[in-house]
Amino acid sequence: MPFSDGPSAADQQLIDHAARHGVTVTAKQLAVWRRAGLLPGNTPGGGLGRGRGSTSAPPPESFDLVLALARRAGRGKRPTDLALLLFADGHPVPETTVRAAFRAAVDSVSPPGGDGHPDSSEALEDQVDRVAGRLSEAGRAFTLVPARARRIDEAIAHLLGAPPAELAELDKNAEPTPMTPQDALLAAVTVILGGTMSVQEMGDLLRAMNPGIAVHPFASLVETTQQDVPEAADLVMADDGSLTFLTEGDARNLLRDLAETAALEDLAAGWRTAQQVREWALSFCERVETELAAG
């Protein structure tokens, strides 16, 4: 029914339901959410007879969805954002909409200086070289560690002073290779496009994440993986010394496949886990900062 004639009886039920819960919803909003696949259409009912048309009713899940959409929607929120937010909250967002939102998130990942859909026939080395050239021209770099974490690391180093000899002995690399922020960005691009990273690059990256600390036992552990645990390294190590994380090739293709085929329960668990990791990291920063402030 045209908006100028007022909402349908079914839509009015949803509007009234929202009002009873303290949120405002309009017929236009309902139409926008339906076009975006976030809200199912009303279910046709029986005819009214004598040429008076037919009735319709909102599906039962629409009532909770309308409340969630009204509370989550806002300026700058795209339909794909809303789909994933509601999905993570456990609301019955249509499956096709959820999977499309995950695919859109993958498609938004584009290497700096590259594009979202590189030529699959182009060799990995050529892709990386092309991206590296554009990075160099643009002067792009990669922020390895957020400023808050860097301040915490510096405070810990100042408080502890020189590392104890027992800790220093665990770092077996006497001449580590420095990695600049631009090198780190290029390494990240290589992982996205090829799914692999050399063990040496991993060690360099870990050291670059905390350049103010004299010893890095964990980085050293990674760098000596092949020597320390050769039988385990064979499971993930390629002949060229690279560590394989994903299927060979553009990692985004694997993510798109997961978005299309993974069980919704697994997608929800992965999404919630990503949120929980961020919450844990922020909470960890707060606890450490409190202890540092107390000396």
Each residue's pLDDT tens digit, 49-93: 454 455 788 989 899 999 999 998 877 788 998 999 999 888 989
What is the per-residue burial (b if ≥16 Cβ within 10 Å, else e) of 135-157?
Answer: beeeeeebebeeeebbebbeeee
Amino acid identity of residue 129, one-letter, is: D
* pTM of the predicted structure, to 2 decimals: 0.71
Cβ(237)–Cβ(183) below 8 Å:
no
Q: What is the pLDDT of residue 294?
A: 92
Instruction: Give the Å distances, CA to CA, from 184 to 91, 135, 225, 293.
Output: 39, 12, 20, 32
Share of the chain above pLDDT 70, in %: 78
pLDDT, tens digit, 9 for 90 and up, residues 279-293: 999 999 999 999 999
Name the residue among 160, 124, 68 with its Cα closest to residue 240. Answer: 124
Output the pLDDT for position 199.
78
User: Which segments within the chain are labelled E, that is strand?
Assistant: 43-47, 54-57, 196-198, 242-244
Positions in the chain whose pLDDT score sits under 70: 1-5, 45-54, 111-125, 127-128, 131-132, 134-142, 226-247
Q: Give me the pLDDT at residue 257, please.
A: 92
